[in-house]
Structure 1
Amino acid sequence: MTTSLLVWGLSLGGSRAHAASASTTASTTAATATATALGNGSVTDSNISYVGRWDVSSGTAAVPNWTGGYLQTAFTGTTVKVKARDAVNFYASVDGGADVFYAGVRGTVSLTPQPLPQGNHTLRISYRSGDTVFQGLVLDSGAGTTTPQVPSKLIEFVGDSITAGALTDRLALDSYGWKTGEQLGMRHTQIARSGYCLVGKDGCTGLATQFFKIGSTGDQNWDFSRYQASAVVINLGTNDIGHGVTGAEFQTAYTNLLRDIRAKYPNAALFALQTLKKRYVTETKAAVSARTGAGDARVTYVDTTGWLTDGTDYEDGNGHPNESGHTKFANRLAPVISAKLAAATPGAATKAGAAGKAAAAAPGDPGDPNIKFYGRWDTRSSATAYTPYWAGAYFRTGFTGRTVKLKQRNAIDLWASIDGGPATFFDEAKGTVNLTPTPLSAGNHTLQVNYQVVAGSYHGDAVFQGLTLDSGATTFTPSTPKKLIEFVGDSITVGTTTSQNARTAYGWLIGERLGADHTQIAQGGAALVDTADDRMSLEQQFTKLNPNAATPDWDFSRYQANAVVINLGTNDVGRGVTSAQFQAAYSSLLRKVRAAYPNAWIFALETFRGRFVPETQAAVTAAVNSGDAKVSFVDTTGWLAADELSDSVHPNDKGHRTITDRLAPIISAKLG
């Protein structure tokens, strides 16, 4: 049996547990029920994780582009088969075992000729050649897929035949990119193809432009919102020498590639490798220097001198490493990457130290990697107590066993919903809070926790100190939406004067309706423009962890929003803010949002009271004219009636539902 548990924190009064209304839990019930259901193994099954640049647009056939693309999932039952359209060569690993090669197979291919023990299993498939089209899985009757545990970080390798693993026995699987990713415990992609150059010239395809495409050929752009790389390794220049590329052309193209990759991956560490044949070394170094000189501190030149030995580590005289050479290369490269990624993580001395800390967290501890935090949580000041900031932050996890308890430091009001059922209110709960006074049926469960806010400030002690599970029980990574929407605003975005504040605000409701995760970067009384009256300015505080503190900055690598909705200007009236100040501040905020989320669609809402409308429109127009095509002004004229306001400013529950009805389709249309 599969069960789920949903928990909320609230700061409203009350003396006993009671059920929330069905209307406020319907969307949560549906979302949780969906999240806990077994997948059917189809191409669109959300429990199948595609790593690399896959085209899944047809819905019935998933095609991996470039080299080294793979898929991962988990499944129940004792057997699994994969459907192939036509003859194909691929590798499959079941339960983390060796990659078994299937040559020239087609149709429905059994990956378990010997049935597995009954239970939970994992599967990874990577395609080599032939008709590389995934058409789904066939599982036992009654069985299904479950969400796989996949690494949170991803490393991308950009290069030519060397990066693709040419001339090795298993090609991509024997390449230094694949080996480095596996060694670091990261997902990995190889944007590489034999014969490719950096500069497109004299018949050689240039990765300076093709890198940004979905495939190694063709003009279709890749959607970089599909994933964010934590690191990018570039190994280019070996082939340019034979196509008449000058030093100046190479340096300019390399500098531009580093700049353009940074625009797509704003938080990634970039590594420019010296080619094994030491071609264009001076130009590569100069490109790195140009970028660091421009303020990009996360670009590193890597000197590979002496990494491999001629005669023993190569397949040929053209610079292609053999399997042993690729392993040596990975052994030298992995520590370089690890050190840079660890240095970029506050409080982490080394990659090994950070990994050890994560491994040491017991199931249910705040640092348990199976607990996924959404919104801006302080997870670094203390290993034993995590604190949410801004409105509507929550976390989600899966767990086994029959009971779960929530550890709270001091009094806080909680909502708990089990299996997507009615939310139950726990008033002024503290210490170890039993969320399952009636034990659940044995099986898998899911848990979501949210500490509610009043007027944008947490009331009570909103500090998560962990979960208490049954003896022998554990946590697992829950199924999560693939998109996230961030809502930026004031008390209206917080949901002030509604029945449950953030939970009944339009931001939360839209996220639930669209099946997306959601954050509310909002606080009661907030304005856009920073003035001398101490009213919080979101133009200033948007980039911060805490709305009420100047430091620290928020680490935007923690998540990437697919859409950002801005609703600001209501509180700027009456504070001496001029038209020019408002427009300049709005333009500045749009630039900050774009820098944080390079692929997000940004929606600038007309305030519901119609304040600073021309200035908001002008800021959007300026952004579009400067080349940002993913910014929209949203005209909200006539959206709310008098009976949909609790006062002259704040929408009531009905008003927030009306906003949701009007705004959700607009966002959905842009996100597809």
Structure 2
Amino acid sequence: MQTTPHPRRTLSALFTAALVAALLSLSWAGGSPARAAAGDGSVSDPNIAYVGRWDTSSGTAAVPHWSGAYLQTAFTGTTVKVRARDAVNFYASVDGGPDVFHAGVRGTVNLTPQPLSPGTHTLRISYRSGDTVFQGLVLDSGARTVAPAVPSGLVEFVGDSITTGALTDRLALDSYAWKTGERLGMRHTRIARAGYCLVAQSGCTGLSGQYFRTGSTGDQNWDFSRYGASAVVINLGTNDIGHGVSGPAFQAAYTKFLSDVRARHPEAQLFAVQTLKKRYVAETRAAVSARNSAGDAKVTYVDTTGWLTDGTDYEDGNGHPNEAGHTKFAGRLAPVIAARLGTATEASAQAAAPGQPGDPSIKFVGRWDTRSSSTLYTPYWAGAYYRVGFTGRTVKLKQRGTIDFWARIDDGPVRFYDDVKGTVDLTPTALAAGNHTLQVNYQVVAGSYRGDAVFQGLALDSGATTFAPPAPAKLIEFVGDSITVGTTSSQNARTAYGWLIGERLGAEHTQVAQGGACLVATADGCVGLEQQFGRLNPNSPTPNWDFSRYQANAVVINLGTNDVGHGVSSTQFQSAYSSLLRKVRAAYPRAWIFALETFRGRYVPQTEAAVKAAVDGGDTRLSFVDTTGWLGSGDLTDSVHPNDQGHRVIADRLAPIIAARIGG
């Protein structure tokens, strides 16, 4: 029998529902949202961590303020989408992968056009420009968010356009502030805006006052109880001089600003950075001394003299670093901060965990991305590998997704693991007790890794640890295309001439090579290594590789086989080859460079001419290598690619030439 609700009860229920809805829409003082049910992906979902100064007071739209604010969460299922109110530009990283740029998108934006494998995944979103409003996530049916693993430490960067990463390709993501935070394994915020000063004067907004506001404009006070900083890095003064701020006025404002920041972050280490253009140096030092004299021992002056090089590390003449300059800046600043924080940083804790990413006993050889994530290390280019020593009787490799790889324990045989994932047991038969070594490299196909080539760490026996095995003193880098990759040989990179020569000469070895690559980047899509040589990733224009990570003793270039099929003229080729030689020399000032004649004899006069021009210009550590007659028909799998025998023939001929120059 159908019943009719009592009118009074209906009104009461409606009133109660309205009251509950109203209470849910209320927020804490300072803009923190009321908590929604964990896992629903809404703006108020407590499993979403907002880093930076976000206004989440509406409960339905989260608005980031200042530059480079981001959010993090984890989720189950195989897909994730984000709701955007209107056209917006943002970066999204799934499972610690590259930050993918989504330009001018709106509505419900699919961040996983290629569904993920079932399981738990991570997500980070950073807004760049446009209608920067986060309206929640859309997950698979039955999926939910999961509280992400976020570092406990946070470093805040206070500055102007230099701190925002102005003029770089990715702005905040290319800034020294972002890079330093990532390198330290800490959460990071930027309270910075282009053109801002320390002192408010002559129309210049002064961060000595605006720092304490929620946004870069407006007068709403920020609620400092929302987060506490472990460190605050101040880089101000570049713009004040153009607005007539006197030395005494700057010093007084800086001293007071340090005092005011200390009041908001009582336990933080404060760093006053000398501006790159060396403005108000004496006044900044004096402000730090004044605070130290007042009993604040946690204030440090940072001398940046010599950190960056004019003409190399800047985008312009106004002090804006390029992406390489920001990387260098971060490389110098991060250790300064870590030293003051001691073992409190996430990076230090990570480094202390045997077998995990960040363990200093693990030697990553080649171009690995060890900075985008503290828990996921990703190799790029061909033939990257890692080596580590370990104690105990067993070792397992933690793999995020399906991948093919080779592993070698001690001096035993190399074992191939086909389409494996999860925790892969590398010692189904336990080893003898004692010290052992492990080397792992992932399979490449035409220079790209087949499957999910992501290192997540090792699982060791209870009580076991890692140690650094003996490491070769020299490194050889091989630059080329599919021939250098080892395409069509039995084990790709492992059976390519570069790997064979490195092993024969007792040297570390890298293969900066990709199948189908040219020397010259062409309009029809051929990847040009003259352009990409300086990149972390062969298929991305950013970020640049940090050449301070290792220095090559020798560089072997084998390029030109593919250019002829893409219409590259002889003049273009010679010019690009000369440019590549200059870039290699700038990256490796002491390396011996070997320019190989391609095995098909293409662009030989142009290669020789580029080498001769460089030698005539004063580069005496450079050789042209004539490869005429090295390979016969029995050494090839087709008309181009050497087979295993062919790669051994190349190694037999080339290894003595390299050894004659660098030893081994």
Answering whether residue 388 of structure 2 is matched by residue 392 of structure 1, we say no
Deviation at 1:477, TM superposition (A): 1.0
Distance 1:354 1:583, change over 3 A: farther
Deviation at 1:548, TM superposition (A): 0.2
Residue 349 of structure 2 is aligned with which of 347, 360, 370?
Answer: 360
Answering whether residue 550 of structure 2 is matched by residue 559 of structure 1, we say yes
Contact 2:307 2:328 in 1 (8 A): no
Q: Partners in 2 of 1:346 and 1:547 — Cα distance?
A: 28
Deviations 1:258-291 (A, max 9, x none): xxxxxxxxxxx9x9xx9xxxxxxxxxxxxx8999
Which residue number in structure 1 is paired with residue 622 of structure 2? Answer: 631
Read off the aligned partner of 2:522 and give its amino acid letter: T
Which residue number in structure 2 is paired with residue 522 of structure 1? Answer: 513
Residue 538 of structure 1 is aligned with which of 529, 532, 535?
Answer: 529
Which residue number in structure 2 is paired with residue 375 of structure 1? Answer: 366
Contact 1:342 1:351 in 2 (8 A): no
Answering whether residue 405 of structure 2 is matched by residue 421 of structure 1, we say no
Q: Partners in 2 of 1:431 and 1:475 — Cα distance?
A: 21
Deviation at 1:344, TM superposition (A): 2.8
Deviation at 1:363, TM superposition (A): 0.5
Which residue number in structure 1 is paired with residue 640 of structure 2? Answer: 649
After TM superposition, the structure 1 = structure 2 runs for residues 9-88 of structure 1, keeping only pairs within 5 Å, are none
Read off the aligned partner of 1:343 and give its amino acid letter: A
Distance 1:404 1:635, change over 3 A: same
Answering whether residue 471 of structure 2 is matched by residue 471 of structure 1, we say no
Name the TM-score, length of structure 2 as normaliser.
Answer: 0.50
Q: Partners in 2 of 1:347 and 1:545 — Cα distance?
A: 20
Read off the aligned partner of 2:567 and give its amino acid letter: G
The number of aligned residues is: 348
Deviations 1:64-111 (A, max 9, x none): xxxxxxxxxxxxxxxxxxxxxxxxxxxxxxxxxxxxxxxxxxxxxxxx
Q: Partners in 1 of 2:502 and 2:553 — Cα distance?
A: 12
Read off the aligned partner of 1:669 and give its amino acid letter: A
Distance 1:633 1:354, change over 3 A: farther
Which residue number in structure 1 is paired with residue 582 of structure 2? Answer: 591
Deviates most, 556-565 or 427-436: 427-436
Q: Partners in 1 of 2:370 and 2:470 — Cα distance?
A: 21
Distance 1:378 1:618, change over 3 A: same
Deviation at 1:354, TM superposition (A): 8.6
Q: Partners in 2 of 1:594 and 1:367 — Cα distance?
A: 30
Q: Partners in 2 of 1:560 and 1:340 — Cα distance?
A: 16
Deviations 1:160-183 (A, max 9, x none): xxxxxxxxxxxxxxxxxxxxxxxx
Deviations 1:294-331 (A, max 9, x none): 5567xxxxxxxxxxxxxxxxxxxxxxxxxxxxxxxxxx
Answering whether residue 436 of structure 2 is matched by residue 436 of structure 1, we say no
Read off the aligned partner of 1:526 and give its amino acid letter: A
Deviation at 1:416, TM superposition (A): 2.6
Q: Partners in 1 of 2:656 and 2:643 — Cα distance?
A: 21
Which residue number in structure 1 is paired with residue 568 of structure 2? Answer: 577
Answering whether residue 330 of structure 2 is matched by residue 343 of structure 1, we say yes
Which residue number in structure 1 is paired with residue 606 of structure 2? Answer: 615
Higher relative contact order by CA 8 Å / sep ≥ 6: 1 or 2? 1
Read off the aligned partner of 1:402 and give its amino acid letter: R
Q: Partners in 1 of 2:533 and 2:312 — Cα distance?
A: 21
Distance 1:560 1:289, change over 3 A: closer
Deviations 1:387-417 (A, max 9, x none): 0000000011111111100000011123232
Contact 2:484 2:497 in 1 (8 A): yes
Which residue number in structure 1 is paired with residue 501 of structure 2? Answer: 510
Contact 2:526 2:566 in 1 (8 A): no
Read off the aligned partner of 1:554 and give its amino acid letter: W
Deviation at 1:583, TM superposition (A): 0.4
Deviation at 1:623, TM superposition (A): 0.5
Deviations 1:4-43 (A, max 9, x none): xxxxxxxxxxxxxxxxxxxxxxxxxxxxxxxxxxxxxxxx
Name the TM-score, length of structure 1 as normaliser.
Answer: 0.50
Over the aligned positions, Cα root-mean-square deviation in angstroms equals 2.6
Distance 1:635 1:468, change over 3 A: same
Deviation at 1:544, TM superposition (A): 0.1
Distance 1:511 1:650, change over 3 A: same
Deviation at 1:425, TM superposition (A): 2.2
Deviations 1:211-247 (A, max 9, x none): xxxxxxxxxxxxxxxxxxxxxxxxxxxxxxxxxxxxx
Distance 1:341 1:555, change over 3 A: closer
Distance 1:600 1:340, change over 3 A: closer
Deviations 1:179-224 (A, max 9, x none): xxxxxxxxxxxxxxxxxxxxxxxxxxxxxxxxxxxxxxxxxxxxxx
Which of the two has higher C-alpha Rg? 2
Unmatched 5+ residue regions in structure 2?
A: 1-275, 282-304, 315-325
Deviations 1:340-361 (A, max 9, x none): 9873369778233596444312
Unmatched 5+ residue regions in structure 1?
A: 1-268, 275-287, 298-338
Contact 1:545 1:552 in 2 (8 A): yes
Q: Partners in 2 of 1:634 and 1:616 — Cα distance?
A: 10
Contact 2:442 2:453 in 1 (8 A): yes
Answering whether residue 396 of structure 2 is matched by residue 405 of structure 1, we say yes
Q: Partners in 2 of 1:292 and 1:665 — Cα distance?
A: 37
Distance 1:444 1:625, change over 3 A: same
